Amino acid sequence: MSEKGHMTNTNSALRRQNKAQRLGRLGKLARGKFVSPDKVPQVLKRIIESGDILCLEGDNQKQADFLANNLATLDKKDLHDIHLVMSCITLPAHIQLFKKGMIRQVDFCYAGPQGTAVADLVKAKKFPVGAIHTYNELYARYYIDLTPRVALIAAAQADRKGNLFLAANTEETPAIVEPTAFSDGIVFAQVNEIVDKLPRIDIPADQVDLVVEAPYPMHLQALFTRDPAAITDVQVLMAMVALRGIYEKYEVQSLNHGVGFNTAAIELLLPTYGERLGLKGKICKYWMVNPLPTMIPAIESGWVESVFAVGGEVGMERYTAARSDVFFTGRDGSFHSNRAMGQLAGHYAIDMFIGASLQIDINGNSSTVSKNRITGFGGAPNMGCQPTGRRHPTKAWLKAGTEANPGPGSPPGRKLVVQMVETFQAGRVPTFVEQLDATDPSIRKALHGVAPVMIYGDDVTHIVTEEGIANLAACRSIAERQAAIRAVAGYTPVGLKRKKRETENLRARGIVQLPEDVGVRPAEASRSLLAAQDIKGLVRWSKGLYDPPPQFVDW
Partner 1 sequence: MTRGPLFHEQTARQRIAALVDPGSFDELLPPPDRITSPYLGQLGIPVSFDDGVVIGRAKIGGKKIYLAAQVGQFVGGAVGEIHGAKLTGLFKAAARDRLPCVVVIESGGVRLHEGSAGEIAIAETMRAIFECRARKVPTIAVIGTDIGAYGGMGILSTCCDFRVMSEHGRLGISGPIVIEKWMGKKAYDSSNRALVWKTSGGKTKYLLGDADALVHDTADAVRDAIAKLLGKSSAVTLKSVKTRQKELARRLKRFGETADPDAVWKGMGVRDIARASLASGPEFAAIARRGK
Residues lying near partner 1 in the complex (CB under 8 A) are found at 271-272, 275, 297, 301, 526-529, 531, 533, 536, 539-540, 544, 550-551, 553-555
Query: Cα separation of 424 and 420, whole Å?
Result: 12
Sign, Cα dihedral of 375, 378, 381, 383: negative
- Backbone φ and ψ of 165, nearest 5°: -115, 125
- Measured torsion, CA atoms of residues 500, 503, 509, 513, in degrees rounded to the nearest 10: -120
Q: Looking at beta carbons only, is 219 or 536 nearer to partner 1?
A: 536
Length of the chain as a residue count = 555
Least separation in angstroms between residue 544's CB and partner 1 is 6
Q: Looking at beta carbons only, is 296 or 418 nearer to partner 1?
A: 296
Q: Looking at beta carbons only, is 276 or 395 nearer to partner 1?
A: 276
Q: Looking at beta carbons only, is 270 or 350 nearer to partner 1?
A: 270
Contact 449, 496 (CB under 8 A): no
Least separation in angstroms between residue 404's CB and partner 1 is 37
Report in angstroms the alpha-carbon separations of 217 from 190, 191, 316, 417. 9, 8, 18, 37
Q: Looking at beta carbons only, is 408 or 550 nearer to partner 1?
A: 550
Query: Cα separation of 270 and 192, whole Å?
Result: 38
Least separation in angstroms between residue 275's CB and partner 1 is 8
Q: Looking at beta carbons only, is 96 or 232 nearer to partner 1?
A: 232
Least separation in angstroms between residue 550's CB and partner 1 is 7
Least separation in angstroms between residue 271's CB and partner 1 is 6
Taking Cα atoms as reference points, which of 475, 478, 503, 473 lies closest to residue 489? 503
Q: Looking at beta carbons only, is 204 or 302 nearer to partner 1?
A: 302
Query: Cα separation of 526 and 497, whole Å?
Result: 30
Least separation in angstroms between residue 370's CB and partner 1 is 28
Query: Cα separation of 422 and 490, whole Å?
Result: 9
Least separation in angstroms between residue 248's CB and partner 1 is 18
Taking Cα atoms as reference points, which of 103, 85, 104, 83 lies closest to residue 95? 103
Query: Cα separation of 248 and 518, whole Å?
Result: 10
Element (H, E) at 353: strand 352-355
Taking Cα atoms as reference points, which of 172, 162, 152 lies closest to residue 66? 152
Task: Give the bridge partners for 433, in sequence order.
Answer: 361
Least separation in angstroms between residue 528's CB and partner 1 is 5
Least separation in angstroms between residue 554's CB and partner 1 is 4
CA angle 117, 122, 126 (to 5 degrees): 95
Least separation in angstroms between residue 279's CB and partner 1 is 15
Q: Looking at beta carbons only, is 38 or 554 nearer to partner 1?
A: 554
Contact 54, 82 (CB under 8 A): yes
Q: Looking at beta carbons only, is 434 or 554 nearer to partner 1?
A: 554
Q: Looking at beta carbons only, is 214 or 539 nearer to partner 1?
A: 539
